[in-house]
């Protein structure tokens, strides 16, 4: 069987396909499911709403990247106190195309919690380890080297080590083509970051999968309580407007549109929600960027933006990870306006930045909003606000230990701090949600898996309780926040689901 990658702007007229498996979404969950099932010998069609981008057609203007490689121009936002920016990728490779490539296994304590509290079978650390190892080999996961780490990350690690904190270089999906050019969240101009369009999807195509870009899934087809296919629109690559229709008939439908758009598609089709849990239990792993000003040049824009971590406070649900962005994004996250803001940006070369993320217990809800867009309600809980204030204080303390002259903690009543005494003030005062400036990149939990259909959307292997042969393989199935970047976890669980689909649904004699 010959595999093909079709791009929407090359397709004329309506498209009618059939395959054993149809996968919606080409990110961490969809691409892995497609490749693994194709490797088992099953026919696969993979649908992606976005376009294909690589080093040959990489957008040079950052604003073009947001328009072409992010959903809604990168402007997805949660509503609540505080509102939280939640950028989501839309391209071949999904959000793996525009994330930092950070690879973390699901923490053992999280897996054991899922087994203990949710009675989810087959997720003990020793059972999941082979899946993590398989994923890491496929994506070329390795610790960030000194050559591309960048001074921003090095200085923070120096501060953490002075304080005796547990820390080190992050593991990423990258190869020798990574030159540390500092624009991971704007795609990769060298193809050094190994997003799924550069490993899983090419392998799936080699094995016979047919991949359609610019194909928006709209209608899930169901007959006698079983998924039978999907229909939707082929989009114009430039305008995003529908220009023709497609349909795919299949035996198994895999939904991997992400933790925002998988539940939204189910809601639009009024499917798989007998538990009433579709779109609920949303976690977003919110974070705050803590910036510092040094006397010496840091040149934080050079090097891998997210190259180091401090996990000293992981037991508190706090993870600190590197983050640095281009000037147009940095300026928006600094505390001042007018001349003072301009003066600070003159010292851009002396700025450094690190992220402080919290393992949230807040539960948001996704509704179907106007024009079919998601309406996301996420009111940060009191406990998570306290956690966020501690996370900011820990990051500020490390910057000061590293020699920072000033720290900008993204708290409105304290635009800058210069001493440990001021850090203590931050810890002692109760913060209000409206005083925080937050962002998030890791939505999960909105179609959670479980052992009982009355309290969950899918079973422990990702199959809908209500619609047979409809599987979900993205972060929406996770019962709680992971506390770490979810990409590797999504991939490992998608691999696990693919094994189950092959054995239980598509092999001779299976049900």
* Amino acid 465: pLDDT: 98
Helix (H) or strand (E) run with residue 47 in it:
strand 44-47
Return the DSSP state at 464: B
Strand partners, 212: 6, 47
Domain boundaries, the chain: 4-71+87-140+188-274+449-506, 143-174+287-359+381-435
- Count other C-beta atoms under 10 Å from residue 207's C-beta: 20
Tell me which residue of 428, 6, 27 sits closest to 209, measured CA to CA: 6
Strand partners, 220: 230
Answer yes or no: 301 catalytic.
no
Helix (H) or strand (E) run with residue 357 in it:
strand 351-358
Cβ atoms 316, 390 nearer than 8 A: yes
> Which residues of the chain are under the pLDDT cut of 70?
1-2, 7-13, 509-511
Give the strand pairing for 215-223 and 351-358. unpaired
Q: Scan for tokens 């430039």, then name that residue.
A: 238
Strand partners, 436: 411
pTM for this model (two decimals): 0.96
- Helices H / strands E in the chain, number of each: 13, 21
Helices (H), 324-477: 327-332, 338-345, 382-401, 420-428
Give the strand pairing for 351-358 and 365-368. unpaired
Cβ atoms 461, 496 nearer than 8 A: yes
- Count other C-beta atoms under 10 Å from residue 22's C-beta: 29
Rounded CA-CA distance 105/168 in Å is: 16
* Domain 143-174+287-359+381-435 sits in CATH 3.30.410: yes
- Residues 6+ positions from 301 with CB-CB distance below 8 Å: 182, 324, 326, 327, 348
Report how far apart, in Å, the C-alpha atoms of 46 and of each of 135, 256, 385, 419 are: 19, 10, 40, 54
CATH class of the domain comprising 4-71+87-140+188-274+449-506: alpha beta
Tell me which residue of 394, 259, 376, 377 sits closest to 317, measured CA to CA: 394
261, 285, 301, 442: the active-site residue: 442
DSSP string, 167-219: EEEPEEEB-TT----S-TBTB-TTS-B--GGGTHHHHHHHTT-EEESSEEEEE
Tell me which residue of 80, 166, 147, 15 sits closest to 434, measured CA to CA: 80
Dihedral sign (CA 160, 482, 411, 437): positive
Per-residue pLDDT tens over the stretch 377-402? 999 999 999 999 999 999 999 999 99
User: Matching CATH topology for 4-71+87-140+188-274+449-506 and 143-174+287-359+381-435?
Assistant: no
Cβ atoms 20, 44 nearer than 8 A: yes
Pair of tokens at residue 331: 């300026």
Rounded CA-CA distance 22/247 in Å is: 10
* Amino acid 10: pLDDT: 57
Pair of tokens at residue 192: 């050094």
Helix (H) or strand (E) run with residue 63 in it:
helix 62-69
Return the DSSP state at 145: P
Angle at CA of residue 451, ends 449 and 454, nearest 5°: 85
* Amino acid 9: pLDDT: 47
Tell me which residue of 305, 287, 416 sits closest to 355, measured CA to CA: 287
Q: Scan for tokens 């309406």, then name that residue.
A: 375
């Amino acid at each position: 069987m010959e595999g093909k990658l079709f791009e929407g702007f090359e397709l004329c007229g309506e498209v009618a396909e059939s395959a054993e498996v149809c996968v919606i979404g080409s990110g961490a969950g969809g691409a892995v499911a497609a490749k693994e099932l194709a490797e088992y010998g099953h026919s696969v069609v993979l649908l992606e709403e976005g376009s294909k981008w690589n080093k040959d057609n990489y957008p040079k203007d950052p604003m073009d990247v947001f328009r072409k490689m992010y959903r809604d121009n990168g402007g997805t936002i949660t509503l609540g106190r505080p509102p939280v920016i939640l950028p989501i990728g839309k391209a071949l490779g999904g959000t793996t195309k525009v994330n930092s490539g950070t690879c973390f296994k699901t923490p053992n304590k999280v897996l054991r919690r899922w087994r203990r509290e949710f009675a989810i079978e087959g997720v003990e650390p020793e059972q999941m380890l082979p899946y993590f190892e398989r994923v890491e080999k496929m994506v070329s996961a390795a610790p960030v080297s000194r050559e591309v780490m960048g001074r921003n990350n090095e200085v923070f690690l120096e501060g953490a080590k002075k304080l005796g904190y547990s820390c080190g270089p992050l593991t990423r999906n990258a190869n020798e083509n990574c030159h540390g050019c500092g624009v991971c969240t704007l795609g990769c101009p060298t193809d050094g970051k190994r997003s799924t369009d550069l490993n899983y999807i090419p392998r799936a195509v080699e094995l016979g999968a047919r991949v359609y870009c610019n194909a928006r899934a709209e209608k899930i087809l169901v007959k006698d309580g079983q998924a039978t296919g999907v229909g939707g629109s082929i989009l114009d690559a430039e305008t995003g407007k529908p220009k023709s229709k497609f349909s795919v008939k299949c035996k198994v439908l895999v939904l991997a549109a992400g933790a925002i758009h998988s539940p939204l598609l189910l809601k639009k089709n009024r499917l798989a929600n007998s538990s009433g849990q579709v779109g609920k239990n949303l976690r977003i792993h919110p974070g705050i960027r803590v910036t510092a000003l040094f006397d010496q040049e840091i040149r934080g824009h050079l090097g891998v933006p997210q190259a180091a971590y401090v996990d000293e406070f992981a037991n508190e649900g706090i993870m600190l990870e590197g983050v640095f962005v281009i000037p147009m994004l940095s300026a928006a996250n600094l505390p001042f306006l007018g001349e003072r803001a301009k003066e600070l940006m003159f010292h851009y070369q002396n700025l450094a930045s690190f992220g402080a993320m919290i393992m949230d217990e807040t539960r948001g809800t996704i509704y179907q909003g106007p024009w079919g867009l998601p309406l996301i309600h996420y009111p940060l809980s009191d406990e998570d606000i306290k956690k966020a204030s501690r996370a900011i204080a820990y990051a500020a303390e490390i910057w000061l230990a590293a020699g920072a002259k000033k720290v900008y903690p993204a708290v409105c009543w304290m635009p800058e701090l210069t001493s440990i005494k001021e850090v203590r003030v931050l810890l002692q005062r109760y913060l209000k949600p409206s005083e925080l400036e937050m962002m998030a990149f890791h939505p999960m939990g909105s179609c959670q898996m479980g052992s009982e259909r009355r309290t969950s959307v899918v079973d422990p292997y990702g199959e809908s309780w209500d619609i047979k042969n409809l599987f979900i393989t993205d972060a929406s199935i996770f019962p709680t926040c992971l506390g770490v970047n979810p990409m590797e976890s999504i991939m490992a669980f998608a691999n696990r689901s693919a094994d189950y689909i092959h054995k239980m649904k598509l092999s001779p004699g299976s049900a």
